[in-house]
Amino acid sequence: MKVKLKDIAEATGFSVNTVSHALRDRPDIPESTREKIKLAAKEMGYIKNAHASSFRSGKTSTISVILPDITNPHFTIVFREIEEYFRGVGMTPMFINTNENAEEELNAVRHAIEQNSAGVIICPTQDNKDSLRLLEKSSIPYVLIGRRFPEEKGSDYVVCDDTEGAACATESLILSGHKKIAFVGAGELISSGRERLLGYKSALAEAKIPYDDTYVYHVDLKSAPSTEALESFLSQISDATAIVAFSDSLAFRIIRSLAKLGRRVPEDVSVIGFDNVCSDYIFPTMLSSVSVSKKTMAKEASSLLFKKISSTTAPPEHIVLPTKLFPRETTAKRK
């Protein structure tokens, strides 16, 4: 039988109102009384009715985390860190996957609003700004993570320095003697795609290596990269000795495709990814990669959202985290 506030009141000798206030840590109840009531509630197996609490306050203790692809280890790590942060402050994160689909993202935001989420962390598809407009209309605090709309000055965001990260990866390959360097990106729709391509271009320019768009290929994040199309591109740039990939998951696909074409990594081609998932997972091939400070990013976004929930008048914050290259088994000096 479910334990009710009335049962705890009868067991402790306090009123139902006092029990309710004590379990919600209201300051009008002395600490000694609160502790006594909480202990009794725990011993009796009381479970808080979250729906009733949200009905009274208009808010829940739930956070909606809207991410584009949970099959990507990068986002798995990000969500795990967000979950750890909010559980530490007594809140529960609810994950929603969008599959990089703008309509699914909009539905996810609608669901967050319907559930009276206290706040939203979202990595946007960036197909449009409909989700942002809906969040703003509903007055739910939100923070963008991993991607940003630079023109949206009123939106809080936490991203990494994508431009510098890609420039660092490209520069390291140049310093290792590579001149024919390809870039496999994710298009210029999302901010990280644009900025990583910009970093690649800037490093080439700095080294006075002419930019050649025949060495650039973009995949569609909305669907799994076509193996045939990727292999066709790699066949066309058979003289390339190094590749910078938009993400680690894409880098691993590239390595597999190169193997099918008879090209060895790193003996024939060096490959650098982006996300540094090898920091948390062991793979048969430990990938050279740019760290996007994913754990720090998740914690910063969580802390920022918690601040926005606590103070809706706090000014927008734009946080750009530094990146770092981690050379591993998939890169080598050009012989």
* 206-264 confidence digits (pLDDT tens): 999 999 999 999 998 877 667 899 999 999 999 999 999 999 999 999 999 999 999 99
Distance CA 16, CA 8 (A): 8
Q: Output the pTM of the full model.
A: 0.82
Residue 183 token pair = 């870039």
Environment class of 251 (CB within 10 Å of its CB; exposed 0-12, middle 13-18, buried 19+): buried
**Does residue 57 register a pLDDT over 60?**
no
- Do 119 and 96 contact (CB within 8 A), yes or no? no
Q: List, for residues 60-92, the tens digit of each pLDDT value.
A: 689 999 999 988 899 999 999 999 999 998 899
Sign of the CA dihedral running 55, 60, 66, 70: negative
26-40, 45-59, 117-131: which has the highest mean pLDDT?
A: 117-131
Tokens 């009276």, residue located = 116
| DSSP assignment of 12-39 | HT--HHHHHHHHTT-TTS-HHHHHHHHH
3-state secondary structure of 159: strand
pLDDT of 20: 87
pLDDT of 206: 98
Sign of the CA dihedral running 282, 287, 288, 294: negative
Q: List, for residues 162-218, the tens digit of each pLDDT value.
A: 999 999 999 999 999 999 999 999 998 999 999 999 999 999 999 999 999 999 999
Q: How confident is the model over 21-36, as a mean pLDDT?
A: 88
The conformational region for residue 47 under phi > 0 = left, psi -120 to 50 = alpha, else beta, is beta
Residues 6+ apart with CB under 8 A from 4: none
**Does residue 23 register a pLDDT over 70?**
yes
pLDDT of 224: 63
pLDDT of 59: 57
Residue from 158, 167, 123, 189 nearest 272 by CA: 167
Environment class of 263 (CB within 10 Å of its CB; exposed 0-12, middle 13-18, buried 19+): middle
Tokens 């909606």, residue located = 64
**Does residue 56 register a pLDDT over 70?**
no
Q: List, for residues 131-169, the tens digit of each pLDDT value.
A: 999 999 988 999 999 999 999 999 999 999 999 999 999
Lowest mean pLDDT segment, chosen from 118-132, 196-210, 305-319: 305-319
Angle at 110 between CA 109 and CA 112, to 5 degrees: 60
Extended strands (E) in the chain: 62-67, 92-97, 119-122, 142-145, 156-160, 181-185, 216-218, 242-245, 270-274, 288-291, 318-321, 324-326
Q: Strands 156-160 and 142-145: what pairing?
A: parallel
pLDDT band for position 52 (cuts 50, 70, 90) = low
**Does residue 123 register a pLDDT over 60?**
yes
Residues 6+ apart with CB under 8 A from 225: 219, 250, 253
pLDDT band for position 46 (cuts 50, 70, 90) = confident
| DSSP assignment of 70-112 | TTSHHHHHHHHHHHHHHHHTT-EEEEEE-TT-HHHHHHHHHHH
Residue 293 token pair = 């400070």
pLDDT of 225: 60
Average pLDDT, the chain: 92
Question: Residues 274, 275, 279, 282: what is their CA dihedral angle, to the nearest 10 degrees?
Answer: -70
Lowest mean pLDDT segment, chosen from 8-22, 50-64, 184-198, 308-322: 50-64
**Does residue 50 register a pLDDT over 80?**
no
Question: Residues 6, 8, 14, 20: what is their CA dihedral angle, to the nearest 10 degrees?
Answer: -70
Using a pLDDT cut of 90, give the percent of the chain over it: 78
Distance CA 261, CA 234 (A): 8
